[in-house]
A and B are shown apart, each in its own frame.
Chain A
Amino acid sequence: MLPKQFLLDECKNLKSVLQETLRFDYGLEGSKDFYEECELRLTFITDEIEQAPEDDVLNLRRCSAQLDQLSKLISRIERSSISEYSWPFVCAFKDITQNICKENKAISDSEDPKIHVLSEGGLSSYKIYAEQIDRIPGKRRILTIVFPRTLKHFVLLHPILGHEIGHAIFKMTNHQSVLASILNNELFTPSANFSTQDTISAWVFSNTAPEAVQKQVAFLNTNGIVEKEFFTKYASLPAWLEEILCDLLGLLIFGPSYIGAQCNLLLGMEPSGLYLSKTHPPTALRINLVLNAAKALGYDSIVFDKDVAPHSKAFWDGVNSLIQPSDWFNVFTEDGIKNTLTALQTYLSSFEKTLYPIHDKETIQQLSRQLFKLIPPVGNCYNAEGEPDCKEVDFRHILYAGWIASEFDPQNLNFAMVNRLCEHGIMQQNAISLFANREK
């Protein structure tokens, strides 16, 4: 069989897989849109192969690679099982990110991407794959959210997806230049250590760096990588800077619960916080930055009543204890952080629901108290007449209350229980919000 015929046969095989899998429902919204998008892509690729002459090896290779990618995508969607992830969280997450992820298209001025969800093994599997648009012969963009299988119900850790959606947002053409310019002008330029590639390399190689970092630098030196070559032969500067941006976006999208998620997950995976990665700045720098940013945003300054205050304090004391005191980690100026946050807040606020709605004391107190009594935290209580009083509560406030409650009585209300209660709270709040809106 010649390659062209082989590929055409594979198109038929893939068509058959598509019929077998995506005609079933995956996720809450079914799979019709995925089916249509994948079928369109397959029709296009099949047409391209049919039109290519047998000896046009370059075009056949291109089509083969596209077919390969489509096959992988369909398999990923097929594996997406609602029983493996927290669908109440996913629904709420889609709701807050939908507006900012709309794409300007020829067919319409704004179209939502398709989002599908799956779980994989390993804590590091938290990820959002945004398809690389220069490689995908597709009409509609598909985002794949990946959760760690073991953390299905751990909704308090899921705010880390705020960081991941930051990457997807940054890849969108209409956001990229604005966000890059905010970061460059407000955060990097005013920083003595992060203003240029050379100053960052000098900071990494400086003799004030922690011993563990200096050891890695010495190892790089033995492999022939000197200071000037750190970002040309080893690390990627754009990747480092994008990670910093995404940390700040995650914080501004999810609020205090992002802090709990980032500190626990990152240090859980890399406890020293000092690893010099090719793609990510040292974890300790990122943690110092988000904690300083949370302080600048005043997240920790709201004083709760006597029932909640000790546990809120315990949460903030716990995360703040992770701040590395050495000046080496504090590369950004206080004003730089503040100005960056202000500019990013202004930008995010133009997209409905994306920016974290700053919490009010009463709501967090009510949600926390419900959790202390092992009740799922929701915007529902009984008024003086004994009638149910329903109100809208943002799921990010439920998550913040969850982090506070995780400090309440860890023996009898452990972290896993708080997570399950919050997950139930998010699900029930969906129904309460529908009811509350119906009354209006």
Chain B
Amino acid sequence: MSIIASYDFNDSTAQYKRFASLAVNYVDNPAMAKAPIAQIPLENFYRLLEMFRYDAFSDEPHCGVLEVNAHNDDEEASSRSGWQNQIVRALNAAVDSTFASKNEAINEMEDVLRQLVRSASLEAPKQAPAKQFLSRFITALD
């Protein structure tokens, strides 16, 4: 038996809130995105936008070709059901507050993330909407 109860560390919501918060810093100071660790929040937020684009949030662990001695995996899978609900609500709130449509929001925000990751720069007109989108996302997760 483990030395401590396996608490549920399903902090997806807190995780994405943190990524968004770091992304705001990079939008404010694009040159900071040169740092290798900047790629982690930026790439992960990009992944989230891709999940949002395709409504593809199935990310449960599974337990091999046949369920044999895999009850822990079962329990983990069932505890993760709906992990994305609050995050999707926050993304929708951010879309509504900033862009005309979900597609426009995803395309624009992905472009922002690409510019930051690839060249550590950001076109000036993209800065304000990007910051508004991310900030609204963060407050919607509170």
Interface, chain A (partner B; CB < 8 A): 40-41, 43-44, 47-48, 58-59, 61-62, 65, 103-107, 122-127, 129, 132-135, 137-139, 160, 163-164, 167, 170-177, 236, 238-239, 242, 262, 265-266, 269-270, 277-280, 283
Q: Which residues from chain A contact B69 at a C-beta distance below 8 Å?
A: 122, 124
Q: Which of A106, A160, A163 contacts B113 (CB 8 A)?
A: A106
Chain B: residues with Cβ within 8 Å of the partner, total of 52
Given contacts A65-B9, A106-B118, contact A171 B43 (CB under 8 A): no
Name 19 extra pairs, CB < 8 A, besides A44-B37, A239-B60.
Answer: A41-B40, A58-B11, A61-B9, A62-B9, A105-B47, A106-B113, A123-B68, A124-B64, A124-B65, A133-B47, A134-B59, A138-B44, A170-B58, A173-B54, A174-B54, A262-B65, A277-B67, A279-B62, A279-B67
Given contacts A164-B65, A279-B70, contact A107 B84 (CB under 8 A): no
Roughly how many angstroms separate A242 CA and B50 CA in the complex, as a whole number?
A: 20
B120: min CB distance to chain A, Å? 12
Given contacts A122-B69, A266-B66, contact A171 B117 (CB under 8 A): no
Flag the segment in B13-21, B94-102, B123-131, B134-142 that touches A. Answer: B13-21
* Interface of chain A, main secondary structure: helix
Among B39-76, those with CB < 8 Å from A are: 39-44, 46-48, 50-51, 53-56, 58-70, 73-74
Residue of A nearest to B81 (CB): A236
Can you list 11 residue pairs at the A/B interface with Cβ under 8 Å? A43-B37, A62-B9, A62-B18, A65-B11, A126-B64, A127-B65, A137-B44, A173-B54, A173-B56, A278-B74, A279-B77
Given contacts A59-B14, A132-B61, A134-B83, contact A40 B46 (CB under 8 A): no
Given contacts A62-B9, A107-B43, contact A40 B65 (CB under 8 A): no
B15 touches A62 (CB 8 A): yes
Roughly how many angstroms separate A61 CA and B15 CA in the complex, as a whole number?
A: 11
Q: Among A59, A137, A163, which residue has the most Cβ atoms of chain B within 10 A?
A: A137
